[in-house]
Amino acid sequence: MAGRRRVSGTCAAVLCLLLAGLAGLLGCSGRSAAESDRADVQRVLDRRAAAVLAHDAAAYARTGNSAGLGEVSAIPLAAWSYRVRTVERTGDRATADVELRYRVDGYDRGEVATGRTLRLSRDGAGGRWSVDSDRPAGKSGQQPWDQGAVDVVRGKHSLVLGVGQPTGTLRRFAGLADRAVPAVSDAWDGAWARRVVVVVPRSLEGMAGLLGSPASSYRGIAAVTTGETGGRERAPADRIIVNPDAYGLLGDLGKQVVLTHETTHVATRADTTSATPLWLSEGYADWVGYRTSDRTAAQAAPELAEAVAGGEPPARLPADEDFGFTADAGELARAYEGGWLACRMVAEQWGEDRLDALYRSVGAHAERAGAVEDALHDVLGTTLGDFTARWREYLRTRLG
């Protein structure tokens, strides 16, 4: 007919081949093979997450390897979900890069997010994917259940998660944490959850695994607190992680001070930002830890007392780099002691309310530059130079 041209047989054949190839790449739904694999894996993991929350061992086993459910079953979970980011497939095997998000019921304001690497397989081209293994991603630390079955002890203000620890030990940690929470609330006038999660692994190596760092980084460190700084919305779920090797060497007062110190970090997290220097955040936590003890300054700051007695008092407030866990042990101790005494001085000479206000004012600054200077001016009516001189004199009078 006029105005129409016939497609030649050769062109028609090429067109059919192109369309067939395109259909093979996109699949019937128009999705790529990679998108299809990711969707299929996501469906399996959605069922796996539902089984975790329901404590349904049979449903969990239908999604693949049943290892892991028993280890996590004692933890009170309010949320558990997976988000598949990428899937690399080779035949009937695949490796998935996945984000796990979970929330501990009654303790976490938001969800913990951590990277996981899952290996999957399926039987035949039409079979479902099933999980063969689930491990921390390369740059992510372990979760407690990666180290074994998690035992749980509930305190009045605390939840203690232990791996390979006697129940009596976990109860003692709950008691320490239950005393720490009201002590922190009595000192810190900011809003916070007033409850903590304490994780007690089997050993220093277990602590390092949870933090995703070499054990040498934490040797001699009794405990650390994990969490994101930068405002309440970015501080959903702190964890106090104990180094049982170092913690066990402490006396009764030392154990309580450490738990109270770490609990202070939980309480102040929302007001601790990149503008907050470590001398203030660590010093304030130590101030709360020692606040009700009868320790003198010289007793609680022996390294700095020795330096002052030897005619070598510090010339400046501790810098962030002085707090490195790999630093010289004496230098690290003097940094903590110096920060503590700076906060103690503010509480004594300006009042505890002003100390809290100083902390919040520094953290509210948009950047580190000028944060301390502005807060000292606005809250205490002084300058950094005058504050430093006053602190050095305070060291001489309290430690000399």
Q: Give the model's pLDDT for residue 71.
A: 97
Neighbour-count burial for 280-297, b at 16+ CB within 10 Å, e otherwise: bbbbbbbbbbbbeeeeeb
Are 201 and 144 in contact by the 8 Å Cβ rule? The answer is: yes
Question: How far lies 291's CA from each of 209, 231, 294, 302, 363, in Å?
Answer: 33, 26, 8, 17, 22
Domain with 90, as residue range(s), is: 33-140
Are 89 and 40 in the same domain?
Answer: yes
Residue 348 domain-assigned (yes or no): yes
Q: φ and ψ at 134, to 5 degrees?
A: -145, 110
Total domains present in the chain: 3
Are 271 and 358 in contact by the 8 Å Cβ rule? The answer is: no
140, 162, 188 — which closes off a domain? 140
Residue 11 domain-assigned (yes or no): no
Q: What is the pLDDT of residues 12-70, one digit of tens each?
A: 444 343 434 444 444 444 568 889 999 999 999 999 999 999 999 999 999 999 999 99
Residue type, 205: E
Question: How far lies 68's CA from each of 64, 73, 287, 348, in Å?
Answer: 11, 9, 41, 52
Structure tokens at 36: 């299809």
Q: What is the CATH number of the domain that holds 222?
A: 3.30.2010.30
Are 135 and 147 in the same domain?
Answer: no
Are 124 and 148 in the same domain?
Answer: no
Burial class, 11, CB count within 10 angstroms (exposed 0-12 / middle 13-18 / buried 19+): exposed
- β-sheet with 112-121: strand ranges across: 77-90, 93-104, 112-121, 130-136
86, 105, 140 — which closes off a domain? 140
Q: What is the CATH number of the domain that holds 75?
A: 3.10.450.50
Are 304 and 253 in the same domain?
Answer: no
Give CA–CA dist 339/308, Å, rounded: 15
Residue 185 domain-assigned (yes or no): yes
Q: How many CB atoms lie within 10 A of CB 197?
A: 23
Are 371 and 280 in the same domain?
Answer: yes
pTM for the full predicted model: 0.88
Q: What is the bridge-based pairing of β-strands 93-104 and 77-90? A: antiparallel
Are 344 and 358 in the same domain?
Answer: yes
Q: Give the model's pLDDT for residue 16.
A: 40
Are 170 and 97 in the same domain?
Answer: no
Q: What is the mean pLDDT of each run of 10 residues along the chain (400 residues)?
A: 42 40 45 88 98 98 95 97 97 96 94 96 84 95 97 98 98 98 96 95 97 89 80 68 96 97 96 96 98 94 95 95 79 95 98 98 96 98 98 95
247, 268, 289 — which closes off a domain? 268
Are 254 and 306 in the same domain?
Answer: no
Residue 288 domain-assigned (yes or no): yes
Are 279 and 248 in the same domain?
Answer: no
Q: What is the pLDDT of residues 107-134, one digit of tens each?
A: 998 899 999 999 999 987 668 999 999 9
Are 135 and 146 in the same domain?
Answer: no
Are 171 and 219 in the same domain?
Answer: yes
Residue 222 domain-assigned (yes or no): yes
Are 264 and 169 in the same domain?
Answer: yes
Residue 74 domain-assigned (yes or no): yes
Residue 48 domain-assigned (yes or no): yes
Residue 346 domain-assigned (yes or no): yes
Cα atoms found within 13 Å of the Cα of residue 207, Cβ hemisphere only? 24
Q: Give the model's pLDDT for residue 79.
A: 98
